[in-house]
Amino acid sequence: MTQYLDGYDYKSIHKKVREIIFNPKRLKKSAIDKYMNYYETKCAGSRQTIEDAKSCIPGGVQHNLANNYPWALDGVKAEGAYIYDIDGNRYIDFLQAGGPTILGNNYPPVRDAVIDALHEIGNLTGLYGDFEKQLAMKIKEHYPSVDLFRMLASGSEACMIAIRLARAYTGKNNMIKVKGCYHGFTDQLIYEIRSIGTGKTAAVGVPDECLEYISGVMPNDIEDLERQFAENEKNGGTALFITEPLGQDSGALPLTKEYQQRVRELCDQYGAVLIYDEVVTAFRIGMGGIQELYDIRPDLTVFGKVIAGGYPGAGGVGGKAEIMSQLTAGLTLGSSKKVMVGGTITANPVSCVAGYTALCELERTDAHNKLKTAADKFTRQLADLADKYEIPSMIFNQESILHIDLNAFQHVGSFIDEFSPEEIAERTAAAMHLMHEYSMAMCAEGIIVAGGNKTYINLQTIEVLDDALDAYERVFSQYE
């Protein structure tokens, strides 16, 4: 039986989770020892600099990565398909800083445009610049749901403003999200993040009151969705529904088109604003994101990552004019009905020029077709490897987002009806440890993966996928 799965087939993926959770495989002890030894001997420089950094940075690291085990790497250069560490090791970059560098690391046309902008415009003006319009128009061109667009500094910030817009527009407070989806780390959106059943566990330092109006529904469960909308009617109605339209953690547990269609109908029926958080998927799942693929128009779309071409700050919100026009800039006081938004470095020349140039380059290079062809082939080859070495796995892709999951650590919470909370915590921790070992092994074999299970390919890594496949085989062949 092949381990290959269709990346949009929720049922098969969900079924496979069970097999992995109940029958996980792990790397042989001899392999773990070998990879630990790699770190000891080949990554000693990283170990030292991270230790030193602990004197001024909490834990010495500022990114939440799988590759922080057994210790983080000191990356000194990112170029094309590769990342280099301080010890002179070269890695194929499947992390891609979490997704924004879809054209490759330090992609010359984007870098050159940014350097030109710095020479011609400077780093910041604090005034309007036409580069803002260029980017906004390019986004509108590909997103018919976007009448107006406002740049922000990050995806988290953009999600925060999107929910504020929706509440101001509807005059209601309640919001519904799909359990497990990530919408940044702001107070109100920190409920049920990353994995089903996490509830308030990530809300350390967040008062319960902040989470008063948010409820989570199970992915693809239309009854649960209908129940929550009806329930909210007894309590002021629903202001908004927000989701990662591809599903939890960039499609690790995909949401079906049928489900999304019902969400759209219910939002219309109950007068709720539909927000698609396309921070990851916009300009990655094709130019038009999931909304183009599923032919569904949200009222608001949250953008991030690719829209600043891999440069800071990557965030923005776009949508219907009647909702977006609440953001009109300019000074006001007192009785204004405006939705407050600010940002010292928002919509600066670097973000806008890099973003605009990157989007034009995606068009010019026909990147998405090339990425899809390469990713579809590569994922099937990986699944064949998992078959060959008899490793239970979920291997699938949605265009250039690849899920290569051998431990299902994010999915244990889906079995909330079968396991006690203690058992869920225990199994999740055990699966997470296996994921860390896997990431360590991949790293020692020359590949940096993202989040352990999810991984991205970009226009430059297409050229090195054969090498990557060899590295995966070296790791897979050492499973028990």
Q: Which are the catalytic amino acids?
A: 182, 277, 305
What tokens appear for 97 in the block? Answer: 């800083």
Q: What does the binding site for ligand PMP look like in residue numbers (CB under 6 A)?
A: 98, 154-156, 159, 182-184, 244, 277, 279-280, 304, 314-315
Tokens 């030894």, located at residue: 37
- DSSP secondary structure letter of residue 188: G
State the Cα–Cα distance between residues 438 and 393, nearest whole angstrom: 13
Q: Which residues contact 331 (CB under 8 A, 6 or more apart)?
A: none
Nearest distance in Å: CB 477, ligand PMP: 32
Nearest to 167 by CA among 296, 340, 347: 340
**How many whole angstroms separate alpha carbon 296 and alpha carbon 92?**
36
Counting beta carbons within 10 angstroms of the beta carbon of residue 217, is it exposed (0 to 12), middle (13 to 18) or buried (19 or more)? buried
CA 36 to CA 65: how far, in whole Å?
Answer: 18
Nearer to ligand PMP among residue 162 and residue 211 (C-beta): 162
Burial of 257 from C-beta contacts in 10 A (0-12 / 13-18 / 19+) = middle
Of 167 and 183, nearer to ligand PMP (C-beta) is 183
Residue nearest to ligand PMP (CB): 155
Element (H, E) at 116: helix 108-120
Find, among 450, 147, 439, the residue nearest to 284 by Cα.
450
List C-alpha distances in Å: 201 to 190, 191, 196, 204, 422: 9, 8, 11, 7, 13
- C-alpha–C-alpha distance, residues 313 and 319, integer Å: 20
Nearer to ligand PMP, 24 or 316 (CB): 316
**Beta carbon of residue 249, minimum distance to ligand PMP (angstroms, whole number):** 8
Amino acid at 84: Y
**Judged by CB, which is closer to ligand PMP: 96, or 156?**
156
Phi and psi torsions of 176, nearest 5°: -120, 135
Nearer to ligand PMP, 66 or 159 (CB): 159
- The secondary structure element, H or E, covering residue 439 is helix 421-444
- For residue 183, the minimal CB distance to ligand PMP (Å) is 5
Cβ(458)–Cβ(371) below 8 Å: yes
Pick between residue 24 and residue 75 the one whose CB is nearest to ligand PMP: 75
Measured from the CB of residue 283, what is the shortest distance to ligand PMP in angstroms? 13
Contact present, 300 and 162 (Cβ < 8 Å): yes
What separation, in Å, do the N-terminal and C-terminal C-alpha atoms of the chain show? 19
